[in-house]
């Protein structure tokens, strides 16, 4: 197993650590933005590092995550979810991005305060879409256990809620930036990773 570089360590922290104390210490800092800052720092470090693996294929390189976004049509799967305890009540958004080979690219969570479950579902999707776009993804497959969200975005249901309408419109705008979009409604048990992040966002105030 190759020795991890400093860039690898920063990326692991960005993916796996809650970083709750840091987010709380700096007003206005979100978990998503902190993850982006760590990724930017990792990229700068990687630019100055020599790992001795320059001839290693991208698929096996320690920096293989970035290789996902160098092709003409990079693709990601997005699992999104939202949770509200009390509906409305303390709520959180969660999203997990996965590359086609099954490797997890990012786990995201955001505490939303006092909101409804449907609001949290949309925020989970927005959280994932924004991060996917920041990574350079061009094609996106979306998996969510909210039938309402999937059918509204697919045009089968109207968006009647005034609180959801702006979120719906923001989602549509982001989706239009992708060259290919697939929307899939899945059972809750198939969305466990995103559900975990949405609940973790509540518990840890991410």
Output the pLDDT for position 26: 67
Are 35 and 14 contacting, i.e. CB atoms less than 8 angstroms apart?
yes
**Which band of pLDDT confidence, cut at 50, 70 and 90, is reported for residue 23?**
low
Domain boundary assignment for the chain: 1-49, 75-204
Angle made by CA atoms 120, 105, 111, in degrees to the nearest 5 = 25
pTM: 0.66
Is the pLDDT confidence value at 57 over 80? Answer: no
Of all residues in the chain, what percent carry a pLDDT higher than 90?
61
Angle made by CA atoms 72, 180, 75, in degrees to the nearest 5 = 50
Q: How far apart are CA 35 and CA 43, in angstroms?
A: 12
What value does the mean pLDDT of the chain take?
83
Burial of 133 (0-12, 13-18, 19+ CB in 10 A): middle
Which one of 3.30.420.10, 3.30.390.10, 3.40.50.300, 3.30.300.30 gives the CATH number of domain 75-204? Answer: 3.30.420.10
Is the pLDDT confidence value at 189 over 50? Answer: yes
Output the pLDDT for position 159: 95
Give the residue-averaged pLDDT of 2-24. Answer: 76
């Amino acid at each position: 197993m190759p020795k991890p570089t400093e860039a690898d360590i920063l990326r692991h922290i960005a993916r796996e650590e809650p970083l709750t104390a840091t987010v709380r210490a700096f007003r206005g800092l979100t978990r998503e933005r902190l993850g982006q800052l760590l990724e930017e720092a990792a990229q700068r470090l990687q630019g100055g590092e020599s790992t001795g693996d320059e001839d290693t294929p991208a698929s096996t390189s320690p920096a293989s995550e970035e290789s996902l976004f160098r092709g003409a049509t990079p693709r990601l799967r997005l699992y999104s979810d939202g949770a509200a305890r009390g509906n409305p009540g303390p709520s959180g958004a969660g999203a997990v991005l996965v590359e086609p080979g099954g490797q997890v690219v990012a786990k995201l969570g955001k505490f939303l305060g006092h909101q409804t479950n449907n609001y949290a579902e949309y925020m989970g999707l927005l959280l994932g879409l924004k991060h996917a776009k920041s990574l350079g993804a061009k094609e996106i497959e979306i998996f969510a256990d909210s039938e309402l969200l999937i059918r509204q975005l697919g045009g089968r249901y109207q968006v009647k809620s005034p609180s959801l309408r702006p979120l719906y419109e923001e989602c549509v705008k982001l989706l239009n930036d992708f060259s290919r979009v697939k929307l899939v409604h899945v059972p809750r048990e198939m969305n466990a990773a995103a559900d975990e992040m949405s609940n973790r966002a509540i518990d840890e105030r991410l």
